[in-house]
Structure 1
Amino acid sequence: MKILIVGPSWVGDMVMSQSLYKRLLELHPNVLIDVLAPAWCKPILERMPEVNQAIEMPLGHGQFSLSQRWMLGKSLRDNHYDHAYILPNSAKSALIPLFAKVPKRTGWKGEMRYGLLNDLRPNRKIFQFMVERYVALAHSKSTMLSEVTIDDIPNPALNVDNENQLACLQRFNISPDLPIVGLCPGAEFGPAKRWPEQHYAYIAKQLITEGHQVCLFGGPKDKSVTEKIVKALSEHQKSMCFDLAGETSLVDAVDLLAACHTVFSNDSGLMHVAAAVNANIVAIYGSSSPMYTPPLSQKVRVVDTDINCRPCFKRECPLGHLKCLNELMPAKVLDAYRDLNRNQNLE
């Protein structure tokens, strides 16, 4: 049996989609799973043992280009896929499996997908969590409600390259013999997910004082944030803080996050990566909610405020005050960190 997955466009969503691949292999042990995804997600897919092949989607997020979709779909016909699962909700995402002549095409009802999908699931909101919505597609329409709950979903687990991890530690002069904590202060989605840099700086100062090395993770767009965190440190503290934003590839970030015993993160793609490499997670939520996209791990503490305007799921604060983040004090976040690590030590 050969399956084509049309994968999501965001790194965090791509990590969560691994739970679907795991469930498909549980149900069909000999299945071959190929995943069509944007180039930036390909390194993540290559760390998933369930994926046979990562196929690069040549079109950017939002691009339509019917002719390119036709050509790509036609080029995939020789793979003779038996089944396609379309994870995005757009009509254009369902075109390539149709053009590839995949006989069974499964996905949730979205924009104008009648006819494009022939196994159409009517209402994804019957499942609370995004990962449940992914995994439910592995089951029939009649059994998915009884077969899928958040408690029995297999968590994502990315492979770690230990040799590359050691090489990365050496490249950035990070000691493998001292404990490492990761901070992920960026959020691609928007500022309403980003805990203030001065709060992250407080966490960094405290943990460095306690003998930890601190690694700051993120992409090039996060550099202005990580630089402010470093600037807030003393000269001695700076020697124990490593600003990796924009300096690593995604696979390097995977391996370096795996070297951290704990990762503090906004609700971001890196949070899901850190969970999938078995780090302890202190997950910081602003405009979004752990009741929709939690880190999929048992080693998690979630921190947020009970302000009545959250979660709003907006990119920017519609009220202009960002109280859900500004009023989430570092002391509360550190308490969550200490509780998590205390419990881990007891285990």
Structure 2
Amino acid sequence: MTYQSILVINTMHIGDLLLITPALRTLRTNFPDAKISLLTDLALADLVRENPCIDECLTIDKHGREKSLGALVRFIRRLRSRHFDLVINLHRNERCSAITAFCGARERIGYAQPGFGMFYTKTYPNLAMDDTPKELATKHQVTVHLEMLQQALGLKTIDDRGLEMTIPAAAEQEAARLWQQMVEETAHAVAKNPRADGHETSAPRPVIAFNIGASWATKRWIDTYFAACADQLIEGGYAVAFFGGPTDVPIVEKCLAQMKEKQSPHCHIFTGKVSLAVLAGLFARCALMLTTDSGPMHIGVSQNVPVVTMFGASPVPTFYPYDARAILYKTPEPCHPCGIHDCPKQGADHMACMKNIPVQKVMEGVHELLEKYKGQAARELPRENADVKGSHRCRIVEL
């Protein structure tokens, strides 16, 4: 079957959107002459706007002008005028399901909420998420997307090169400006107050990105643990930079309050100050990322950053950082993965999945990757085995 126009839909979260990028590349490889459009949330568009595998990025302002049911109906009517040959829904929620069901495309396939599937040409279960019990979900979300496309469209080639994000030019320029400003301010501060610890040189220190926030409390490692890691890294000759969105500001402030080195010129704060696209540009200049399971973790992977992460409530097989260089720590708690936003347990059992991941073990992984990649900025590192099937599985360390 050939298609002249294909629409892919995913309007959900940062990580969900980046996890469809191997599917976009696979579609482009198999349908090189088709016009491929991607529909996503307006707030996330910069993550995919410059993706070389799509011809256009369409947006829906789901928290603004297209939030109401009436606005959604009008939006669908506008889509119907495009007369797409094929629409593929890659997120199983009501909005995406409704758009797919009623967009008027010749073929409508993918994941669907109950009730909408009867208006699809063919529906498929999302075996990484809603349609599979957590204990049976053993495939990564990327793999599930690709296998669904292969089954639905009879694809000859799976072109999986990992997560991809091309940074818009303006965002790259802003990231470069902010990074240079950070370097100059650090050099000035060090010149005024040199330390006698043997770590100060004329060259900037490698920077470790800290992403300590997450949408769920049960995805966050303990703030005192992050503080200890930051102190050890600064004392060991590295710099640290805290990232995250506006909602992460109080989380970062609480962590900073527990650091001995919070006043160091090598402790930098970008939390709540930059857009997602600029965030990606800053990540690309870091040597490593210490992170929770979160959207920024997947942005870091897309920018080739070596990652060390800790998983609590999240199902590891389906959402691990999609990179073979990454190291993931977890504990064998009987309730893992709970998928609960706030831990209901009390006392020593409260957040045991995170409490029982010690700083010492995590720092072993951090130092291993820093030594292996010599503290180079992520954008200077080659992508390892990017086109080798199965090369994107991270190392999982169960404590």
The TM-score with structure 1 as length reference comes to 0.89
Structure 1 residue 312 displacement after superposition = 1.2
Structure 1 stretches of 5 or more lacking a match?
Answer: none
Instruction: Give the structure 2 partner of residue 304 of structure 1.
Output: 330
Q: Which one is further off, 260-269 or 240-249?
A: 240-249
1:150-190 Cα deviation digits (max 9, x unpaired): xx7331121245533311213444678321110000001x1
Q: Which amino acid aligns with 1:332?
A: K
Percent identity, aligned pairs only, is 22
C-alpha distance 179-47 of structure 1, shift in aligned 2 (>3 A): farther
**SS of residue in 2 equivalent to 1:137:** helix
C-alpha distance 317-87 of structure 1, shift in aligned 2 (>3 A): same
Instruction: Give the structure 2 partner of residue 187 of structure 1.
Output: 214
Q: 1:113 aligns with which of 97, 113, 116?
A: 116
**SS of residue in 1 equivalent to 2:308:** strand
Q: 1:70 aligns with which of 73, 85, 90?
A: 73
Contact residue 106 and residue 137 of structure 1 kept, 8 A? no
**SS of residue in 1 equivalent to 2:70:** helix
- Between the aligned partners of 2:318 and 2:26, the Cα distance in structure 1 is 20
Structure 1 residue 265 displacement after superposition = 0.6
Structure 1 residue 137 displacement after superposition = 3.3
Instruction: Give the structure 2 partner of residue 196 of structure 1.
Output: 222
- Between the aligned partners of 2:62 and 2:161, the Cα distance in structure 1 is 30
Instruction: Give the structure 1 partner of residue 140 of structure 2.
Output: 129
- Between the aligned partners of 2:367 and 2:261, the Cα distance in structure 1 is 26
Instruction: Give the structure 1 partner of residue 21 of structure 2.
Output: 18
Superposed counterparts of 1:1-347, under 5 Å: 1-60=4-63, 65-122=68-125, 124=127, 125=132, 128-141=139-152, 153-160=160-167, 162-172=172-182, 173=185, 177-188=204-215, 190-234=216-260, 237-320=263-346, 321-345=350-374
C-alpha distance 123-212 of structure 1, shift in aligned 2 (>3 A): closer
Structure 2 stretches of 5 or more lacking a match?
Answer: 188-202, 376-383, 385-399
- Between the aligned partners of 1:343 and 1:80, the Cα distance in structure 2 is 51
1:91-133 Cα deviation digits (max 9, x unpaired): 4422224443111111125322232211212563487221122
Structure 1 residue 342 displacement after superposition = 3.5
Structure 1 residue 269 displacement after superposition = 0.3
Contact residue 126 and residue 144 of structure 2 kept, 8 A? no
CA-atom RMSD, angstroms? Answer: 2.6
Q: Which one is further off, 114-123 or 20-29?
A: 114-123
Contact residue 165 and residue 259 of structure 1 kept, 8 A? no
Structure 1 residue 85 displacement after superposition = 0.8
Contact residue 168 and residue 252 of structure 1 kept, 8 A? no
- Between the aligned partners of 1:252 and 1:59, the Cα distance in structure 2 is 23
**SS of residue in 2 equivalent to 1:76:** helix
**SS of residue in 2 equivalent to 1:291:** helix
C-alpha distance 64-249 of structure 1, shift in aligned 2 (>3 A): closer
1:241-284 Cα deviation digits (max 9, x unpaired): 11111111111111011111100010000000000100000011
Contact residue 101 and residue 116 of structure 2 kept, 8 A? no
Larger radius of gyration: 2
- Between the aligned partners of 1:337 and 1:235, the Cα distance in structure 2 is 19
Q: Which one is further off, 196-205 or 236-245?
A: 236-245
Q: Which one is further off, 98-107 or 179-188?
A: 98-107
Number of residues of Structure 1 aligned to a counterpart in Structure 2: 341
C-alpha distance 99-113 of structure 1, shift in aligned 2 (>3 A): closer
Q: Which one is further off, 225-234 or 242-251?
A: 225-234
Q: Which one is further off, 223-232 or 9-18?
A: 223-232
Contact residue 87 and residue 100 of structure 2 kept, 8 A? yes
C-alpha distance 80-71 of structure 1, shift in aligned 2 (>3 A): same
Contact residue 205 and residue 237 of structure 1 kept, 8 A? no
**SS of residue in 2 equivalent to 1:302:** strand
1:308-328 Cα deviation digits (max 9, x unpaired): 222212111132410111121
Instruction: Give the structure 1 partner of residue 200 of structure 2.
Output: none
- Between the aligned partners of 1:36 and 1:123, the Cα distance in structure 2 is 19
- Between the aligned partners of 1:142 and 1:73, the Cα distance in structure 2 is 24
Q: Which amino acid aligns with 1:73?
A: I
- Between the aligned partners of 2:34 and 2:116, the Cα distance in structure 1 is 26
- Between the aligned partners of 1:141 and 1:56, the Cα distance in structure 2 is 25
Q: Which amino acid aligns with 1:224?
A: P
- Between the aligned partners of 1:342 and 1:235, the Cα distance in structure 2 is 23
Contact residue 275 and residue 295 of structure 1 kept, 8 A? yes
C-alpha distance 11-177 of structure 1, shift in aligned 2 (>3 A): same
Structure 1 residue 287 displacement after superposition = 1.2
Contact residue 4 and residue 35 of structure 1 kept, 8 A? yes
C-alpha distance 195-127 of structure 1, shift in aligned 2 (>3 A): closer
- Between the aligned partners of 2:25 and 2:123, the Cα distance in structure 1 is 22
Runs of 4+ more than 4 Å apart: 171-176
C-alpha distance 142-253 of structure 1, shift in aligned 2 (>3 A): closer
